[in-house]
Amino acid sequence: MKNRELEAYLHHHIPVSKSLGIGVNTCSVKNIELIAPLKININHMNTVFGGSLSVVGILAGWSLVYAQLEAEKHQIVIQENNIRYLKPANGDVRAICKYDNHTMWSRFHRAFQRKGKGRVQIACNLFCADELVATFEGVYVVFNKKLLLNV
């Protein structure tokens, strides 16, 4: 999948991504990088709003799961998440998620093939310039759409 394809998909299917001006810098099965501009996500302190940081983290993790799968055939939802705000972000923010735990993904794929659903935990780092401003962890659950339609 190409950067523009993922960005168009997000903007169409998850409209808040368009409202927040979220763009896709990198999209591959191994690496996702999203960007959120300060100008649209600014708060009263002239830094990026914490809720926007959370959303871009959630979307970056979601996008990594999406890139790993034939996503049109699956329903991806976030089950839980945690974000640690380390420093204020006074510029555009990049959320970076990497495929870095082969064992976890192997377990996910086995469970998904066996049960038609699987769970995976994703970690993302959020940067302003080259400074780490937040860390995000999310648990995503993926369901086979065919099984959902038969219920």
The candidate with the shortest Cα–Cα distance to 105, out of 124, 87, 121, is 121
- Taking the chain (151 residues) in runs of 10, the rounded mean pLDDT of each run is 92 97 95 98 98 98 90 86 98 95 86 90 97 98 76 50
pLDDT at 101: 78
Q: What is the pLDDT of residue 82?
A: 98
Instruction: For the chain, give the longest Cα–Cα distance.
Output: 49
Q: What CATH superfamily classification does 3-149 receive?
A: Hotdog Thioesterase (3.10.129.10)
User: So where are the chain's domains?
Assistant: 3-149
